[in-house]
Amino acid sequence: MFSETPVPVLCRQGWHARLSEDGVTYVRFGTRMSDPNGTYIYRIGPIPDDRSCTTIWCYGDNGVAWTCSLCGRPIVGLRPVPAA
């Protein structure tokens, strides 16, 4: 069940954000590997544009997807995100 919180436009377009003390990093889901760690592959960068992004393999968290700091949802796949 999705919350009643409005989903930001970027999240509906497949871009999400991770907020930290260093600022904002934009994230797009790549794929999930079927290895023992449940590795997630993301594209991350300073702006929501693939040309400015780097590929990151996330396997140290043992198959736990990153969570978007804007919409609060796990950053996985291209499942539809309902409009507010």
Q: DSSP of 30-70, one letter per residue?
A: EEE--STT--EEEEEESSS-GGG-EEEEE-TTSSPPPB-TT
| Mean pLDDT of all residues in 79-83 | 52
Residue 55's pLDDT is 94
Digit-coded pLDDT (tens) for 38-58 = 888 999 999 999 999 999 988
**Which pLDDT tens digit goes with each residue over 3-32?**
455 668 888 888 999 998 888 999 999 988
What mean pLDDT comes out for the span 69-75? 90
**56 is written with which tokens?**
């990151």
Domain ranges of the chain: 9-58
- pTM of this prediction? 0.74
Alpha-carbon distance of 11 to 23, in angstroms, equals: 18
What tokens does 20 get?
A: 């930290």
Query: Do the beta carbons of residue 26 and residue 14 sit within 8 Å?
Result: no
